[in-house]
Amino acid sequence: MMIRIIVVALLLASAGATENITGEFIATNEWQIIAKGQAIPKGLHVRINLQTGLKEAKLIDENERGTSLQEKREDENESLGLDYKPDIIEESLRKVKEQKQQKKQNYAELKKAYNEFQKNFRTDGELIVELLKQYRNFSKTPIESELKLKMDTLENLEYLLHQIDNALVFIDKAGLDDVLLPIVVNETNVPLRISAMRVLGSVTSNNPKAQIKVFEKNFGSHLAQILMSSTNSGELSAALHAFGSLLRKFPLAQQRILSTSGTQALIRVLRSSQVELRTKAKVITIISDLVQEKRSVLESAGSQEVPDGTSAMAQYVLLEFESWLETHGYCSTMDNVLTKDFLHLIEQPEIVEQLSMTLDTTENICHPLWSESSGLRHALLTIRNRYVHSKDEYRLELSQILTKICEKLFNKAAKHTEL
């Protein structure tokens, strides 16, 4: 009984010692007991002591700032520590609803745009048919107001017909007969002819089935005629593009076209003083490619027996392009081009590269003439000597190629003293 009285007395003494008679809580950096009903300032660190069960508070240390919460006040009339206001929730809900509504609108707009896209979507084949229909609706007689529309149509076709399947759709829908053939054969407007031949080049490029169809329409002869008669660099460039695309990897077309007017047409472009070097470079590239193509096919066959005359191998065996080149004066023409234009070539290394490749490829055909040409020797060594002292790696490589060509042609190492 005595012990119980002593404990109660101690608790009462402890409570009396910590109670602030004035009711004002003065915070310090140490924990202090908060008396029942006592008000405390905002911004204190508040806790319940788990050992005593009493509420305590102290000033917040800098390290604790922002990590502690003040105890909720028991007085419901006082504002909360988080500065709570009912309209904040209403505003937040309103914003959420607006965002949801905006998302619904965006989705509706996207869905509408997608449906419009689906409605207006056309496959490549459908576009080609539409472009052909559009071109057929143009007047047959030249009208200046329709020229731009025709050019735009051809430009779109050129883009689409690079793909093999698209080119075949174009052919199946009579695009060769209704569009390209009339322009290439009869059109007097040069820009329109140029556009048509670019389309023709797209149709036949790396497309064996299209090459056959174009060959059957006799486009090869028409292109050769343009090469024989035109001096317009743009027209010649487009014609050469179509001509080369038709002939490459197509020995039957090479046999039929090059044995008649084709080889002569190529040499004519090389000889013309009105044709710029870049256009002539396209010609010598075609010549080099066709000569090398036959050699590669025959070399790959090796000692195999030549099959019947309908095979590609047999067609290459019968092909005599090198002889036709020699007959039409290719060797002297190349000699003349290099002898007259070598000073202009010095500043055009990309054309020098094309010329070098062709010289190397056809050297066996023209060796008797070229090896005796002092003008050709002077031209090649002059270009070589300019490049051999260059700091440009591309020109240095070309100088090495030219050195090897000179050694082949002139049977001795070329000296650097040649000017």
d(CA 250, CA 315): 9
For 42, the domain range is 27-60
* Distance in angstroms between the alpha carbons of the first and the last residue of the chain: 133
Residue 149 and residue 47 share a domain: no
Does residue 318 lie within any of the structural domains?
Answer: yes
Does residue 117 lie within any of the structural domains?
Answer: no
Element (H, E) at 56: strand 55-59
- The number of distinct structural domains making up the chain is 3
Residue 353 and residue 312 share a domain: no
Statement: residue 56 has pLDDT above 80: yes
Does residue 22 lie within any of the structural domains?
Answer: no
Residue 352 and residue 283 share a domain: no
Does residue 162 lie within any of the structural domains?
Answer: yes
Contact 258, 324 (CB under 8 A): yes
Residue type at position 404: K
Q: What is the pLDDT of residue 69?
A: 45
Q: What is the pLDDT of residue 182?
A: 95
Statement: residue 68 has pLDDT above 50: no
Residue 202 and residue 169 share a domain: yes
Residue 382 and residue 251 share a domain: no
User: What's CA 95's distance to the chain center, in Å?
Assistant: 45
Q: Per-residue pLDDT averaged across 248-259, rounded?
A: 96
Does residue 90 lie within any of the structural domains?
Answer: no
Does residue 39 lie within any of the structural domains?
Answer: yes
Give the orientation angle of helix 349-370 with respect to helix 374-388, to 10 degrees: 150
Where residue 184 falls among pLDDT bands split at 50, 70, 90?
very high
Does residue 202 lie within any of the structural domains?
Answer: yes
Least confident of 12-21, 156-165, 272-281, 394-403: 12-21
Residue type at position 193: R
Q: State pLDDT tens for residues 81-123.
A: 444 455 666 777 777 777 777 776 777 777 666 566 555 557 9
Give whole-number Cα distances, 368 to 126, 364, 373, in Å.
57, 9, 9
Would you state the torsion angle of the CA atoms of residues 246, 172, 221, 234, taken in this order, to the nearest 10 degrees? -70
3-state secondary structure of 55: strand
Residue 207 and residue 147 share a domain: yes
Residue 231 and residue 188 share a domain: yes
